[in-house]
Structure 1
Amino acid sequence: MRELPAARVLSQVALRDHLPLLLEAIADMMVQSAPPPAEDALGSVPDVHALERLGEGFDLRQVVTEYRLLRRCVLRLWAARGLEGSPEATAVFHDAVDEAVTASVTRYMRARDRTFQALDSISAAAIGSPDVSSFLPQLLQVLQETVPVVDVVAVLVCEGDLLRVESAVGVEVKKDWRGRVGEGLSGAVAATRQPVLVHEQATDARRISPLLQAQGLRAAYGVPLLLDGALLGVALMGSRTSQEFSSEDLLLFRTMAARTTSMLARAQAHAREQQARAEAEQSLARLRASEERRKRWEEIFTHLGVGVVLTRVQDGVLEDVNPAFARMHGFTREELVGRPLQDTFAPESRGTLSRHMGVADSKTHHEYESMHLRKDGTRFPVLTHVTSFRDESGQVVQRAGAFMDITQRRVAEAERQRLLSGIEAERARLAAVLEQLPVGVLLAEASSGRLMLSNRHMERLLGTVFTPEEDLRAYGASVGYHLDGRPYLDGEWPLARSLLRGEVVEGEELDIQREEGARASVLASSAPIRGREGTILAGVLTLVDVTPLRRAEAAARQAAEFGEKLIGIVSHDLRNPLNAIHLSVTQLLHSEQLPPREQRAAARISKAGDRMKRMIEELLDFTRGRLGGGIPIHRKPGDLRAVVRQGVEELEAAWPDRQVLLHVEPGRYEGEWDAGRFVQVVSNLGSNALQYSPPGSPVTFRLKDEGAAVVLEVHNLGLPIPPEALPHLFDPFRRAASEGGGLGLGLYIVEQVVKGHQGGLSVTSTAPEGTTFRLSVPREGAGPPGPEAAGPR
């Protein structure tokens, strides 16, 4: 048997384990006179022997060979000892051996087919499932279905001195469950590395694993999972209904455990391979990233606009420089590498270089300024940043320096200081000007509205000390009133409108409440201060105190109203005695008994009375114009030619020694006019022209038709009106010259009558052309005044 390859590893006991039982059963058959059938006499010995040999790796030929060798050995022993049995006994022997061979072969084939079917199911389950967590549950499920008496199957993986449940079928296991090697059934299998069978766990001295103890199992069987002498884990199976596993079941379980071992090893190898591949890919990715970073740093080092150098610690020699550092000093990189760093410093800065390097070695980095030297000998300021690199022991092994030319920075700093000085000077001058201004000035920031600046006049105007406010809501603390008495809201203040909406406010009059309670009238002006992009940066407010002016205006207005009322009363009361004088003089002039001398005196009295009457009427018109809203105008349809001709005739009668001409151009002159007032206009303008013109020169009236309006021009020669008198020519109680009498109300009344007709009045006066008054009156009373209604030009 030792010549068989499968038997060479078996022990002597394994070779003869079932032979005594077999030979004893054959011997009993041979001595019986009527031996039982061979299959009954041999019992299960051939079956068990076949399963044992199948489990040991014997093929079918080797199993048959073992029986042939057994037969040969018996026959040789008989021949050697001279023992020859009867033909019946010999036939029984050969029939028994043949039956044993037949039974073994049959059992072997049946067990092998069952095992192959189970292995095929396992292989199918393992296809495409390289990881343990996916194929183990399927393998255990196949085992449970193949062996009907098996209720629980589990595989535990060895992790040092512990066993962890990798997969289980028929039992609930906590994910973190661990068992120790040497404890329980699984621990005993792992410790001895031999299969362990428990027939009845309730009476067996060996306690099964705590994993299976609570499952109510009767029998349990554990097999170590060994690969090249290394323990990978333990496979367990158990039954709740049976206390015995058949040899075929045990063989099948061991076979599947062996297949589990190989798959587990393969899965672990695959997992290790995957992990190694992942680690390799990660390492490769890190290497590529490191290479990319190195390339980026090389690009940065090469193209950086700041000079960068690497120096040795021992002697300060330049190990590498970037192009910017070389250009900064007027060298090439090749010319600088290998030279001491101090050669790039100006002589006056080289003495401090060692001190700065010592400071840089004592901390993470150090920054300082120094003078450097170019190749052409010129000097320039540089800002240097030094970083010291250390090894694992903390020893400085290299230094890196970054160098920036700060020439422009120095120039810019000097310019900045100059500008700051100028700004401070301008600010001081502005503050001085603001303090001396006779108006209050306030400056606020946009868009918060924070008050930033105020002058002393503003504080005196408001009656309080200036305090910066944070936002526009604080403006509500100030009390201001519109001219109609309404209080100002927060967003209505001129400064708030300028800050919020960019509004420009000019001369807005308002009343403010002072701190002590008194009111002041002010003119407020505000405007936004904008930046280059047009955004509002701040706002400025000015307040002019017009309280004294308003008081003076009120006093003057009261005095004027009093004088006008007085004039009206006096002129009205003078009419009665003047009428009595006029009637008496008229009666005397019509008397034939009055001597010529007294007649001349009466005529002078009559003219003086007429003059006083006109003066009283002018005073009454003036009073009506000031107190009654203007001289009353009563327009009626009529022809303006007749009205003007009437006025001219009255002038001719009053001035018989002067020439008064009337020219009426072709056209239509019908319209609505106040004929009496228009005669008054003709009389006043004509009297004014006759009074201020040479005696021999004519006064000309010219009437024109201009469509919607009628124009009347009055022209006279003589000295022109002084230019300074033209703006006040139509003011009451004023005269262009000192000659002549009257109150100076004639032209004022003319202007009021023309305005009452919604017309316009102008005057031109030059030495060569003389003086011309031009008035334009619309035919209809409705509508606004004409374009010349604003007054004299």
Structure 2
Amino acid sequence: MSHRLADFLRHHRDAILEAWEAEVRELPAARALSQVALRDHLPLLLEAIADMMVQAAPAHVEDALGSVPDVHALERLGEGFDLRQVVTEYRLLRRCVLRLWAAQGIEAALDATAVFHDAVDEAVTASVTRYMRARERTFQALDSISAAAIGSPDVSTFLPRLLQVLQETVQVVDAVVVLVREGDELRVESAVGLRVEKNLRVRVGEGLAGKVAATRQPLLVHEPATGPPRLAPVLLENGLRAVYGVPLLLEGTLLGVALMGSRTSQEFSGEDLLLFRTMAARTTSMLARAHAHAREQAARAESEQSRVRLRASEERRKRWEEIFTHLGVGVVLIRVQDGLLEDVNPAFARMHGFTREELVGRPLEDTVAPESRGALVRHMGVADSKPHHEYESIHLRKDGSRFPVLTHVTSFRDEAGQVVQRACAFLDITQRRVAEAERQRLLADMEAERSRLAAVLDQLPAGVILAEAPQGRQVLGNRQVERLLGAPFTPAESLGEYGAYTGFHLDGRPYRPEEWPLARSLLQGEVVEGEELDMQRADGTRVSVLASSAPIRNREGTILAGVLAFVDVTPLRRAEAAARQAAEFGGKLIGIVSHDLRNPLNAIHLSVTQLLHSEALPPREQRAAVRIAKAGERMKRMIEELLDFTRGRLGGGIPIQRQPGDLRAVVRQGVEELEAAWPERQVLLQVEPGRYEGEWDAGRLVQVVSNLGGNALQYSPAESPITFRLEDAGEAVVLEVHNLGTPIPSEALPHLFDPFRRAVSQGNGLGLGLYIVEQVVKGHQGHLSVASQAQEGTTFRVRLPRHVPQAPAGRR
């Protein structure tokens, strides 16, 4: 009987769906749907129920139905069905099946009926659950969008927030972009997770976004790399495997296009597509609101600008009246016809001891002293012949007192070029005259001080030259200058004449006039301290001098003069050269001795090796041979360090031979050698994720690992480990060596990398290990630093660039 009901569901499926559709069409949400969209996944549901009835051991109902109810619920949610209407669909389906089965006149078996009812109940339950979960997720996303839009009326602010919400809501979404329509083009307004140029433009009909805009229909593309050509080049460049585009429509008007893409999945779930369409609809409304807000803001701004221009026009007139009234300089307007004062400001009236009313209508000559009135007509005539004219004269106050005035006259002309009015500005220059007299007095005092200063400078053991700014005229030079130059001192009159002095930089370049320390102090205010240079004396010999110069400023900071002092250091340089030769001889001697000691040391090493491989050697002698071997190894290391020291001192640094390689292998080799030499200690290597290829001298860097690791093992507690750490720092690689124990004394840190120095008295080396480490790091153009504290321990940090930087052209 189960088979009969299953066969009925299969053979009468179309009749069942027709009867069901006739009743479902009564639901408001179903009336506008096509037959295909309305029936949706129900044929699959009937087929799954029929399969359950004919199985000998029916599977669990949830497994048998699969995702059919879930997909159906998502479709109905996107088509606007509410939960009651979704449940009604299944209720009507159950009723139609049972009614048509009863019309066959065949009684259904109880087990078949039970299976049928269980399947329909499970479909209802699954659909309701899926519907509620999808709706809750949609509501949460819409709430997040609304929260993102609060306080963000403009598109540029709220779109990045909205796209971020979508990316966080749909886990498979890696990139989201919104394009806004502008005429026949789409412009990228905002993008998240996508390397796309801001304001990139796409024509409608071109590319994925252009096609969505042209068809105004959603478009899903799987694997853009194999899709239609020119459909999504930007998406292909960003490695997206699936892209879904939705048009942003508002009442039939296209506002833009929204795209979401995934780099990890080729498919989007129906729930994800539904959620994206819902959020796109909300984005459309927000875009419309933002555009309306922008138009409103623009209208307000235009209105405000109009009001501002009106106010500015009125305020400009008031401002000129305020300036005329409150200006501290006397200003008058004079009629050309009769030369009478047409208007005067309060400053002019106060300057002459009158009120404004007493001066208006009177001639200007009433305010001028008798001895200056004769030139008044001439000055006004000159002012009429050019844009403006200035002159000095004596004016009278009401009480009869006189005072000097600087007058500035400007003539105003009409369209025909005729002078119609004059404006005069008057400045009381009494204080200027007093200041000029004071200046003359100060100059006389300075000349006296200069004479006294010259007498003092003549007794100084250093050469001193004083020059004026800015022209550079030398006004003073003491006797020591003549002794150093080997000729009488002839002051230069300008900076250009500084070329008469012959001087050389330490690299042999001659000094140009503007390069002399005194010239730099005068021109740039530079303070030069102890600049070494060579000067050529009158007899052709050279002397080494240390020159120092500084500008002399007034209280306002203006450079008034410059002073140069220089001393003869030729004897000192000769002594330094002798000491340097002695040091070089000592270094060569160390190198020769270290090199010649290798041959007997190799003989000792070979002999001890033969003894250690001899089975007839008694234990006591074997222990002695082991001690000899270890002592030989120590001597070999000391000789190698001495040779490296000699190369560093005499050869301009330890030679470095760079070859491409992986620094991890180099460090591992050094760590393995340390583990073999210190089997009782724990040596850790920590390699951070990253890239460690570059150009290195592997042998020298193994020496760095060995020396730093040996130091760490030697000066740390036996029970504590030492740690090597490698880190990718972009264009460089960082190696850190850390150990616990007694910190390095602070007074030893400045000299830690000096040769033949050790931070503590313990140790059996020469004190060259850290010096060699520093030289190897410098040879790689790297940097070496150390930090040592009681709590954190001691850390040596080596930073090595992957490649040697290329020196700019022309530099040595």
TM-score range, shorter chain: 0.3 to 0.5
Structure with greater Cα Rg = 1
- After TM superposition, the score normalised by the length of structure 2 is 0.43
- After TM superposition, the score normalised by the length of structure 1 is 0.43
